[in-house]
Amino acid sequence: MSPMTSTVPELLELLTLERLEENIFRGQSRDIGTKFVFGGQVLGQSLSAAQATISDDRAAHSIHAYFLKAGDIEHPIVYTVDRARDGGSFSVRRVTAIQHGQPIFFMAASFQKHEDGAEHQMSMPEVPKPDELEAAPPVAPDVLANLPVKVQRWLSRQGPFEFRHVYPRDELNPPKRPPFQQVWFKLSERVGDNPELHRALLAYASDFHLLGTATFPHGISYYQPNVVMASLDHVLYFHRPFRADEWLLYSIDSPTAQNSRGFARGLIFDIEGRLVASTSQEGLIRVVDEKKE
């Protein structure tokens, strides 16, 4: 990808917040083809705000977040950070995202100094390596032209991350299939070595594909006009060092869906098979009567 068309610098700028006061930050919003602000943007920016208030080498090991209201793409978001605790080994930050004077999201993040101790992990699934898989082909122009404008923007935009699906699915004509998938992904360009940046990038990327896995048994997808989906919460644990600009495997399953809510969880491995992060998310999944819309 040439520097002229790359969206990586745009993402890096998005995750670089303006510091208004000691514990208050402002981040811009981007329209990437979603109806409202992409959840991964708010996750990544909130983590960036929390990390900016940690003065030593403590690293984020977990974030727990709730999406309260849909974000407005046309306006910036203000992040306020509450320095809830700074102990001997752990620090906790509470972050509230505010738009139009109202909270739209809040998150608690915990940070820890490095410590040696007992270690084990689940094994990475045996799947083809990313260089054995092909990138998804672009949507045919005649098909794209008949889709809603927002969906066209989402499907035609060259995003900052490259994805390669082990079991590709036609999202425009989705079949019914078991609720699991494996997706290799990485930032499409090399960036610096700052581990805080790579954690914010992973927080951003972790919102892709997760909730969608809960739609697999039902033969529906986010792209269908009568399907309404929205993240309700998001949990992310960081286990081991990683780089977001090197291939990572997102292994996702959805154990249950009920009461118009789907639940999904994911394990993220690096190319060497080390478990570097874990996620879970519950989200709204509604199939609405188009005649009433």
> Residue with structure tokens 């009567």?
289
- Catalytic site residue 253? no
* One-letter identity of residue 42: V
Residue 114, pLDDT score: 94
| Per-residue pLDDT at 4 | 37
pLDDT at 273: 98
Task: Give the pLDDT mean for 150-174.
Answer: 83
Close Cβ partners of 150 (under 8 Å, ≥ 6 residues apart): 33, 34, 35
pLDDT at 257 over 80: yes
- Which residues sit opposite 230 in a β-bridge? 284
Residue 3: what pLDDT? 39
Q: What is the pLDDT of residues 179-223, one digit of tens each?
A: 999 999 999 999 999 999 999 999 999 999 999 999 999 999 988
Contact of 248 with 204, CB cutoff 8 Å: no
Task: Please report the pLDDT score of residue 31 as a whole number.
Answer: 83
- Is the separation of the CB atoms in 25 and 49 below 8 Å? yes
- The candidate with the shortest Cα–Cα distance to 279, out of 254, 242, 257, is 254
Q: Is it the case that residue 292 has pLDDT exceeding 60? A: no
Report the 10 Å Cβ neighbour count for 155.
Answer: 17
- For residues 56 and 158, what is the distance between their CA atoms, to the nearest angstrom? 36
Where do the domains of the chain lie, and which CATH numbers do they carry?
A: 8-113+130-292 (2.40.160.210)
Signed CA dihedral, 164, 169, 170, 174: sign only: negative
Q: What are phi and psi of 290, to 5 degrees?
A: -60, -25
Kindly tell me if the per-residue pLDDT of 2 is higher than 50.
no
Residue 81: predicted pLDDT: 98
Determine the pLDDT at residue 134: 87
Report residue 142's pLDDT band, with 50, 70 and 90 as the boundaries. Answer: confident
Segment 255-282 shows an average pLDDT of 98
pTM, full prediction = 0.93
pLDDT above 90 for 6 = no
Identified catalytic residue from 48, 181, 182, 231: 231
Burial of 98 (0-12, 13-18, 19+ CB in 10 A): middle
Residues, the chain: 293
Tokens encoding 69: 């209201």
Token pair belonging to 187: 């930032």
Instruction: Say how far apart CA 60 and CA 51 lie, in whole Å.
Output: 8
pLDDT of residue 293: 46
Using DSSP, state whether 289 is helix, strand or coil.
coil
82: its two tokens? 């509450």
pLDDT of 82-130, one tens digit each?
A: 999 999 999 999 999 999 999 999 999 999 999 999 999 999 999 999 9
146 vs 282, higher pLDDT? 282
Read off the amino acid at residue 62.
S
CA 145 – CA 126 distance, rounded (Å): 38
Q: Is 80 exposed, middle or buried (0-12, 13-18, 19+ CB in 10 A)?
A: middle
Tell me the C-alpha distance between 184 and 162, whole Å: 8
Per the annotation, the verdict on 131 as an active-site residue is no
pLDDT by residue (tens digit) across 26-60? 999 988 878 889 999 999 999 999 999 998 899 99
* Catalytic annotation, pick one of 207, 254, 270, 278: 207
Compute the mean pLDDT over every residue in the chain, rounded to the nearest whole number. 92
Separation of alpha carbons 49 and 56, rounded Å: 15
